[in-house]
Amino acid sequence: MTRRNPARLIMGAALSIGLMAGMTAARANDSAIKAGADPNGWGMYSKNYDNTRFSPLKQINARNVKRLSYVYSFQLGSLRSNESSPIVIGDTMYVSTSWGPKYVYALDAATGARKWTYEPDIPDDVLQYACCDVNSRGVAYADGKIFVGRLDGKLVALDAATGKEIWKATVVDYKQGSVITSPPLVVKNKVITGFGGGEYGVRGSLQAFDINTGKEVWKTYTVPLKNEPGGNTWKGDSAEHGGGAPWLVGSYDPKTNLVYWGTSNPGPWNSAVRSTGDGNFGQLQNLYTSSTLALDADTGQIKWFLQGTPEDAWDYDGVNELVLADLKLRGKTVPVAMKADRNGFFFVMNRDNGKVQSAEKFVPATNWATKWDINTGRAVEVADKRPGPNHPAKDICPNLIGGKNWQPMSFNPDTGLVYIPSNNVCMDWSVSDVAYKRGVFYLGAEFPTKAGPGGYLGELIAWDPVKNRKVWGIKSDLPFNGGTLTTAGDLVFWGDLHGDFRAINARTGAELWKKNLGSGIGAGAITYEVKGKQYVAVVVGRTAALPAFLGDIGKKMTAAAPEGGALFVFALN
């Protein structure tokens, strides 16, 4: 009889399991990379890991886009704040709706025929814990699975072929004011997600879950407690309710294995509650809120950070997406991450180490700081624009919705331009006493809204990130307009709160085509090709909750178009 060495058997089994796990991770990562790289598809929320929202397709182009015609529409069965950018894998489109999401649909991308519907059981009380509406901005795909975050704090994996639920994980207790409104990021064998809640005094975190089991792999808090590194930037125990929630979308660089995420405003808005009180504004305070974080995708360890608004006193939520590209700066090709921050500055950072290459005002009215000093890594603040106890501030620009809100920008490597849906809104600000109560707004501020200078409230800006200047702009009578898509056909697609969906010459800003779709547009459009035919798709359904933050301007936003919930698809006739 052959005797076997037990230790060798155990080592062999462990090696086999390790190899299988490694193969699974590689396969999942390969499937996500392949989906993002497919020129005919739209494999991730912003096309691929770099968040450029650029498509190399050019069957539809600046010369023929005037022939763009309706192909089909699909009613989403859910009104209010439909903000999803669909994804397209092969010939199948996956799109989520608002309210939970109420539904996730798989559709034939060429015809709109429904393949399956996922209808989760979402608690009726989620609205009261969703600061800024019941939105769902989309889903993610990898390894034959669809991943979706929900307003009830759950992360779910679905079978991409059938819609059947494979696993469900609890990310956070939504009743503390934490909801998931944006799609996760799949990296290797992990599904990474954040959640909202900066206005409810949550303590933000990013969490990674195993792609096959839903088991939590790592969790990184984005606000350090007083006994942790960086905890001395918080007053007393205020970090326990410090906000910093990374609720929007992440990006990823496979070369460095870094994921990039923005973090939200600190809580509460009354900075006196959390400030260490040294009066040296512009220094790092309230880490890691209103910041950009670069984290190791395998462990969640923070490798570098940039705090765009230290000791944020204006709700300049720093969650806006990071767009990755390689730019030629001062004669050298630099791997960069670009961010149009809500505080009105456009940051170009070396994405390997976080060093700021440039930071210029893309919103001309920005006045809370005179400039961003790249030598010190600090904003040069205007003292009169920083509110505090017994010190209200007047005419602060931008307003709390920011120079750019969540609506995605895009980058076209052919034109070298970034297309930014910007806002021109200002405010006054005064603070008040506030106490934390679980699941209730934790603000401590009043912020009457006013129009910015110039008589317009929004502008689509084409920005040169190398020369740091605006190339062209299209002004709007409303803020909070839709995200952008850009293509190799020299086009930018952009919608607004009136429901007007436009095709624009990416080089000149000339409007080439327009169609009103009946409800306000916040989502970014996508484009894809099936069987040799290029399509453009966009979801409509204006916001309902956010206008309540904006007074009379908010009333104009809700009057501009009715609520809606539909997907529209176009192609050349």
| Tokens encoding 491 | 């086009």
Number of continuous H segments (helices) and E segments (strands) in the chain: 2, 39
- Angstrom distance (rounded) from CA 38 to CA 390: 57
Residue whose entry in the numeric block shows the structure tokens 């009169």: 384
Contact between 205 and 222 under an 8 Å Cβ cutoff? The reply is yes
Sheet strand arrangement including 205-210: 185-187, 190-193, 205-210, 216-221
**Residue type present at position 495:** G
Query: One of 83, 143, 199, 496 is an active-site residue; which one?
Result: 199
Contact between 519 and 561 under an 8 Å Cβ cutoff? The reply is yes
Sheet strand arrangement including 92-96: 87-89, 92-96, 104-108, 114-118
Query: One of 265, 270, 343, 412 is an active-site residue; which one?
Result: 265
Query: One of 253, 315, 360, 500 is an active-site residue; which one?
Result: 315
Q: How close are the terminal C-alpha atoms of the chain, in Å?
A: 77
**H helix or E strand, kind and range, residue 108:** strand 104-108
- Could you give the angle at the alpha carbon of 392 between the alpha carbons of 386 and 448, nearest 5°? 100
| Tokens encoding 261 | 């995420």
Q: How many CB atoms lie within 10 A of CB 10?
A: 10
| Tokens encoding 86 | 């669909």
**H helix or E strand, kind and range, residue 480:** none
Q: How many CB atoms lie within 10 A of CB 370?
A: 12
DSSP string, 71-85: EEEEE-S--S-----
The number of C-alpha atoms within 13 Å of 177 and in the hemisphere containing its C-beta is 23
- Angstrom distance (rounded) from CA 478 to CA 421: 11
Contact between 385 and 415 under an 8 Å Cβ cutoff? The reply is no
Residues in the chain: 573
Q: Where are the beta strands (DSSP E) in 236-361?
A: 251-253, 258-262, 291-296, 302-307, 323-329, 332-340, 345-350, 356-361
Residue whose entry in the numeric block shows the structure tokens 């529409």: 73
Rg (CA), the chain: 23
3-state secondary structure of 199: helix
> Does the annotation mark 265 as catalytic?
yes
| Tokens encoding 343 | 């505080």
Q: Write out the catalytic residue numbers.
A: 199, 265, 315
